Amino acid sequence: MPRPVTVTYRISPAPAAVAQAAAQLFADAAKTAAETRGRARIAISGGTTPKAMFALLADPAQPFLKQVPWDKLDLYWVDERCVPPTDADSNYRMTNEVLLSKVPLAPERIHRMEGELDPAVAAARYESTIRNSFRLEGAETPTFDLILLGMGDDGHTASLFPHTEALNDLTDIVTANHVPEKDTWRITLTWPVINQGREVAFLIEGAAKAQVLHDVLLGPYQPETYPSQIIRPASGHLTLLLDSAAASKLPVPEDSGTTGTLELK
């Protein structure tokens, strides 16, 4: 049975405002974790919305550059394509160009997935990286302070695609996932690890996502078809940062404001 969760969705008028909200969420989570636990561990995704958020985080004209405790931040990836870090499709390359090359984050605190390796080897090495940096023992799983996700037009998230083997992986931290529809391999955090995050948020934009977002939140529970449905954090809370186009098929907040809630049973 799926875990009950409260979904809070924050609606912005345009993608630029979603990026602003995401940058503030990133900065706040990093600051809170550093102050509370002495270290902030954040896992990020690729895509258009994170790219705009990264640009804001690195912009000296924005407040976020000074708000983020870069000296106490460890940065991880939710997933990666199986390509070299110099490839145009690499999530790492995009992040490095837009964010990492412009902020004072030490190289040893940047934990990239090695997409250039054999997928199984890359997944095993990244799991080892996580275990070592979190100092996990035995069957312990990591608890990230913030995990930022996207959602595809098919309802996938991370590299958890519909009807793929990774949806059945309940034991690993990281897994290699073959995606037949794209004839490619991906490396991804497994969904039980994502659900362990202290704060988990989706960044979703565009009218093309409106119907699938409606089906994920309000339709029957079919995680094999809509893997995003399987993201139900143990904290009991899930955040969605949306633009008005993506949110167009969701219930209008009762106060006609910009924040709505849904209870998923």
Question: At 253, is the pLDDT very low, low, confident or very high (cuts 50, 70, 90)?
Answer: confident
Q: What is the pLDDT of residues 2-33, one digit of tens each?
A: 899 999 999 999 999 999 999 999 999 999 99
SS3 content of the chain, % helix, strand, coil (to 5): 35, 20, 40
257 pLDDT higher than 70 = no
Q: What is the pTM of this model?
A: 0.97
254 pLDDT higher than 70 = no
Q: Distance (Å, rounded) from C-alpha 96 to C-alpha 83?
A: 15
220 pLDDT higher than 90 = yes
Count of domains forming the chain: 1
Alpha helices in the chain (DSSP H): 15-37, 48-58, 64-67, 91-98, 119-134, 191-194, 210-218
Domain of residue 209: give its range.
Answer: 5-264
Contact 178, 166 (CB under 8 A): no
Measured at the CA of 253, the angle between CA 208 and CA 264, to 5 degrees, comes to 75
Per-residue pLDDT averaged across 93-98, rounded? Answer: 98
The maximal CA–CA distance of the chain, rounded, in angstroms, is 52
pLDDT for 65 equals 98
Q: Distance (Å, rounded) from C-alpha 245 to C-alpha 156?
A: 19
Domain CATH code at residue 61:
3.40.50.1360
Which residue would you say has higher pLDDT here, 256 or 234? 234
Q: What is the pLDDT of residues 64-90, one digit of tens each?
A: 999 999 999 999 999 999 999 999 999
Q: What is the pLDDT of residues 171-212, one digit of tens each?
A: 999 999 999 989 999 999 999 999 999 999 999 999 999 999
* Average pLDDT score over the chain: 96
Choose among 94, 65, 64, 61: nearest CA to 77.
94
Q: Distance (Å, rounded) from C-alpha 1 to C-alpha 24?
A: 34
256 pLDDT higher than 60 = no
pLDDT for 212 equals 98
Which residue would you say has higher pLDDT here, 139 or 60? 60
110 pLDDT higher than 70 = yes
DSSP 8-state class, residue 2: P
Distance of CA 66 to the CA centre of its chain: 23
Question: At 49, is the pLDDT very low, low, confident or very high (cuts 50, 70, 90)?
Answer: confident
Question: At 226, is the pLDDT very low, low, confident or very high (cuts 50, 70, 90)?
Answer: very high
| Torsions phi, psi for 30 (to 5 deg) | -65, -45
* Percentage of the residues of the chain whose pLDDT score is greater than 90: 94
Q: Is 17 helix (H, G, I), strand (E, B) or coil?
A: helix
Per-residue pLDDT averaged across 236-247, rounded? Answer: 97
